[in-house]
Every structure is written in structure tokens, then in C-alpha cells.
Structure 1
Amino acid sequence: MQDDASHSPTYTVPCEDYVHVVEFSPFCSGSSASLLAYGGNQYVVVGTIIFQEEDMEVEGVDFNVLRAFHHELRVDALAWSPESRLDRIPMIRLCTAAADRKLRLLTSDLQEKHEVKVMEGHSSYVNHVVFEPTEGKQIASVSDDHTCRVWDVDGTESVIFRLLSPGVSVCWHSQEVFKLMVAEKKGTIRFYNLVTQEAMLSLDCGTLSFADWCFPNPIKVGAVSGNDWLIWDVTRSSYAQEKRPAHMDKARLFKWSRANENLFATTGCPGKMSSQVLIHHLGHPQPVVIGCATVGSGLSWHRTLPLCVLGSDRKLCFWMTEM
């Protein structure tokens, strides 16, 4: 389905239920098709998605469900493992977080084998999870319990960083895997050395909702605080180089494009009816795309296309950017 109005999604894919989280796989899997997962009240759906921009034979978008996993509780956070692949020996591996404060490692060969490993340790709500991006042997999570925890995939905790306020997001450096970025609600973004287990650098702003580390260019860090988005150059200063108002109703998420280091998206906090998604380009004073989704949640960028997705009520909404 293709729409022309600037606020309408470029494409939509219908879903069975309300979508709370959605993530493109950010990794080069053993397949040309892009992996996409989304989670709702008691399920995780994994599939491949191809857009007409990638394959001329596709009309609009083609989403093919590979597997639906039962999930005991609502999925509140979701991360892909770089071990996921669809070649001759398929493997799907995801980590989820739910309101019972537990992480769940889901592993499937899409045939007979299907495992769920439950990881316990957090004492409050888990806000974000991420895999180590090269081998996927570790997972980092942040929580309202004022900790960032690094887990081995066998379920053991290898590192605990004590925070001064709730952790809102965590990111691994795209190349130097001993570096971890942790954003705290009270407005501090810290960079940790996982070898020495010490903080190397920190950035400061007001109350943070979310922060993201630019995958194509890791000297850039972006975040949303109050109604504003902020961007730092970590080589220059601990204060933001750019700050602009974005959302009237408080900003919720900030995610960098993986295809273009000057492109990023922000979402507003879900309202009673609709949620706003704005796509920004650093060379433009105004958002280049203004979108809207019914009580939208989750936000993720395609690995190679300038396209992002938002979860919505019984559908996924995709916006393509002309960049």
C-alpha cells in the first residue's frame, strides 16, 4: 500500500494485534532479505521484509512471516542478535524484556528447535536491551533499578554498572566492542570501558528520554530531552553541538539512520489517539518527513534504505525518505 500525503506512511503491513516494539535486524545476515521482528501483548513475530526499492518485482512491500513466538507477557523491549541468519543453517536469536523484570533469550532454527532462556537479575522495569554487535555473545540491559547489566548468552551476569538514576538506553560501539554507552534519565550519558569497567567520558543535558549512538559515525550521539532533540560530537565537547525543539507533547525516542549519518528520527510520547514521528536531516532546518500513527510505539531504521518503521494499532507503518 502506497500513500502520497506527506503525513501518511509510504507503506503499511497489517498485524494481528497492537504492536509495542518493532526492530529491523541491523546486521548483515546470511540472506539478502531483511529480517524484521515485532512484539505485542503475548507474542513476537519474526519475518522477512522486502521493499520495491530493493526488488523491482515487489509491489510496494512484501512481508513473509517466518515464525510467531508465544511470549508470556507484553514485549517491552526487543533486540536482534548478529548470529541471526537465513542461509543454509537458519538461526533466529532475539532478546526481549517484559514487565516481570526478566530478559528472555529466544533461539530458533525455524524447524524443530525452539529455546527460551530466562535471565533474572534486574529488580525493576527493564527499559532497553542490545546485543554485542560482532559476535552476539553478550547482551546489555538498562533498568529503572539504576543498573546497566552485561550478560553472557548462557544467562550469567558478567558486569554490573551502578547508575545514579534509571537507565533509559544502552548502545554498543559499532566497531570497538569494549565500549558501551549508557544513558540515564537524569541527563547523563556515560561511555564505559568494558575491560577496565570504568567510565571514560560523559555527556550532560536535561532529563533524558532516550539516546542513540550513530552506527555509521560513532563520534555522533543523539538524544531526546523534554521536547527537544540534541546532538553531540564526542570529540569536541560534553555539551550538545545542536539542540532544537521537535515535539510539542514531549519527545520519546531518538534513532539514527543506519544508512546515512545525517538522518535520524524522533517520536513523540504516545497520545490518546496518535503519535508523531519526525524524520530529520542535519542539512535541513525543518523535519524532512512528518508522520503520524495511531498510538505508535517502537522505532527502527532499515539497515541499508533511508526507511524507518513505527508500530501501531494492528499494523506496521513505514516511511521512506528521499535522501
Structure 2
Amino acid sequence: MQVVKSNQRVNTPDINITNNTFSMEDSGRGASYTVPCDDYVHVVEFSPFDSGSAALLAYGGNQYVVVGTCRFQEEDMEVEGVEFTTLRVFHHALRVDCLAWSPESRLDKLPQLIRFCTAAADRKVRLLTSDLQNQHEVKVMEGHTSYINHLVFEPTEGKQIASVSDDHTCRVWDLEGNETTTFRLRSPGVSVCWHPEDAFKLMVAEKKGTIRFYDLVTQQAILSLDCGQSPLMSADWCLSNTIKVGAVTGSDWVIWDITRSSYPQEKRPAHVERAGNFRWSRVNENLFSTTGCPGKISSQLLVHHLGHPQPVMIGSATVGAGLSWHRSLPLCVIGGDRKLSFWMTEM
């Protein structure tokens, strides 16, 4: 078990949110904390579920997944900066492109259980389960015929997984690897989200700019949203207020109130070039983050608040992959070249 401690805490002031002369060329602020890694990080995910006293975090490199716990000084005064403890390194045959946590993952009960799923360029979903002792299992799920863009577990019991792909399908799997439902899409699927309390409601975002909500009982679409432009690169369902849906499309972010209209209620430019990721904060329904596509000028991390006309924080990382929010802190993480970078939002 490896413990990495970093006391880097950059107290750079946040961007002045009342200044309407905001420019995308602003240098932004450095990460609040960083944790070194041995390889380029292609995906990083906090577990969104309560799994014990410390937050579970997993990140994927070229042929492995590192699973560990994170503790921050904001939640534990004995920690200086951030403390990352590696629990296990899982071998992975290919580069990890997507990763999702199971709600069954827990460290505060015996036997401990770690369960997550991944996707890679071979178009297969892998379900990895470990007791962090001697029992380790990998199940491979085959069915997609093109690149898998996103994965999610059913959040109440974790007995199902949904995945979306460039093959114009959303597929639902059980934990034995059986494909139980397939939704035919009209363009590549880019994001999939499960309702936090209703196991029969699934949201699927398509690259052409349409988001549909499906009923898994009737296997029919029950609601659709329209961006009005494309490509839609990433979408997220606000789990603390499920009438809100957000996405990035082109270089803009867009927000819907699904009770009011199928067209966005708000839309603003976010990145100079194409935007890449959209994620809602888990502790504030008005807070969300976007990133540009890795390697682009606009690949900064931006944190937005619906009450402010400009980003409330600009992260200066210019290359990054993955984007995830802590389950109980206003803190998000992105991966990059041999490091994880964490930003605490001072709200």
C-alpha cells in the first residue's frame, strides 16, 4: 500500500466574477493540489457513492487502473494538503478510456469490496471486482461494434451497467455480462446517466445534439431535449436536482430545465475551441465544470456558477483527460501527464 502526501496548496485568488472583461487567454490559477503518477492519466473518477471515511478514487493509464483513497485538509485537519493512499493496482490489457464506479464498493465493512467497470479500444466492457485481499475477478462483456464513449452503474443497487458507443447504441448489461436491453440511437452515443433514485430512468446523449430519457420498463423514449447545434460532446444529469441537465456542444455550455422546454434555458460560450467535458458538482446544484478537448488551446478547466455571468474559476492546466467531482466537497479533479490535478472551488 502506497501513501502519497502532497502539501501543495496554491492560494492564488479566484477569478474576479464581477469583472466582465474576462478573456479566455487569462492564465488562470494552478491546481490546489497535485498527486504524482507513473504514467499519463487518461481517465479519473471519484466514486459518487458513500464508501467509508475517505473518498474512493480510480484513475486509468495505458495498461492499468490505480484504485485508492483521497483525504484532503478541508475534511481532516491532520492532513497537510492531500493524502492519496493506493489500495490496489489492477492490470488492464489496454489503455483505459472510460471508468465507472459501482455503489457496492465499500471500505467500511468486511469483507471490503471494490467494483468498477472500464471500457477500452477493443470495444469491450470489463467488470473488475476485488476484496483487496485474494479474490479478484474480471468479467468481459462483448457486444459493441465501435468505440465506447461512456459507462454508468445503476446507482441504487449496482446490478446493471449502461454503456453508449459510436455504434449508435446504448446497451444495458447485468453483472453476469448479459446484454438485457439495447436502444438504437440516431447518432453516436456520448454520455449516459442513471436517475439517482429511479432505476428505470436512463438519460442518453447523442453526438448530433439530442438527449433522450428512456423508460427501461417500456423500453421507450419518454422525453427528449435538443441542443440546437452539434457536436454534443458530453452531457450530465444534475443528481441533486434532476430537472437540470447540462452539456457542452461546439464551444458552448448549455443548461436545460426539463420541466419548461426541450430547448436550453441558458447557453454561453465556454472554450475558444471545442469543449470536451461537462460535469455537475455533487454538492451544489448551480455549480458545474467544463474542459476543452485535451491538447487544444481551450483545454483549460473552467468552473461555472449559474448565478454568475463568467466562470468563477479558471484552471491553468492546458492538457488534461477525465473530469470528476468529489462527492462531498466543491472539488474536482482532472488527469494529465504523470499527475492528478485537484481544484478546490472557493465559494
Shorter chain as denominator, the TM-score bin is over 0.9
The Cα shift of 1:294 comes to 4.7
Q: Matches of 2:286 and 2:71 in 1, distance apart?
A: 24
Determine the structure 2 residue equivalent to 1:290. 314
The answer to whether the 8 Å contact 2:272/2:298 transfers is no
The answer to whether the 8 Å contact 2:271/2:298 transfers is no
Determine the structure 2 residue equivalent to 1:83. 104
The residue type equivalent to 1:314 in the other structure is R
- Higher alpha-carbon deviation: 289-298 or 74-83: 289-298
Relative to 1, partners in 2 of residues 1:74 and 1:261: Cα closer, same or farther, differing over 3 Å?
A: same
Determine the structure 2 residue equivalent to 1:243. 267
Q: Equivalent residues in 2 for 1:141-160 (5 A)?
A: 141-160=163-182
Secondary structure of 2:285's aligned partner: coil
The one of 64, 67, 82 equivalent to 1:61 is 82
The one of 10, 23, 31 equivalent to 1:3 is 10
Q: Does 1:254 align with 2:278?
A: yes
Where do 5+ consecutive residues of structure 1 fail to align?
Answer: none
Where do 5+ consecutive residues of structure 2 fail to align?
Answer: 1-7, 13-27
Q: Matches of 1:24 and 1:274 in 2, distance apart?
A: 24
Q: Matches of 1:129 and 1:220 in 2, distance apart?
A: 20
Determine the structure 1 residue equivalent to 2:287. 263
Please, what is the CA RMSD of the aligned residues?
A: 1.0
The answer to whether the 8 Å contact 1:274/1:293 transfers is no
The answer to whether the 8 Å contact 2:272/2:297 transfers is no
Q: Normalised by the size of structure 2, how large is the TM-score?
A: 0.91
The answer to whether the 8 Å contact 2:191/2:234 transfers is yes
Q: Matches of 1:243 and 1:153 in 2, distance apart?
A: 39
Identity %: 76
The Cα shift of 1:89 comes to 1.7
Q: Matches of 1:99 and 1:308 in 2, distance apart?
A: 26
The answer to whether the 8 Å contact 1:274/1:296 transfers is no
The answer to whether the 8 Å contact 1:274/1:295 transfers is no
The answer to whether the 8 Å contact 1:214/1:221 transfers is yes
The one of 101, 105, 115 equivalent to 1:93 is 115
Output one character per residue of 1:48-67: Cα deviation in whole Å (capped at 9) or x when no partner. 00000000000000000000
The one of 176, 190, 205 equivalent to 2:212 is 190
Determine the structure 1 residue equivalent to 2:47. 25
The Cα shift of 1:177 comes to 1.5
Runs (4 or more) in structure 1 with deviation over 6 Å come to none
Give the number of aligned pairs.
322
The Cα shift of 1:293 comes to 2.0
The residue type equivalent to 2:333 in the other structure is V
Q: Matches of 1:287 and 1:25 in 2, distance apart?
A: 25
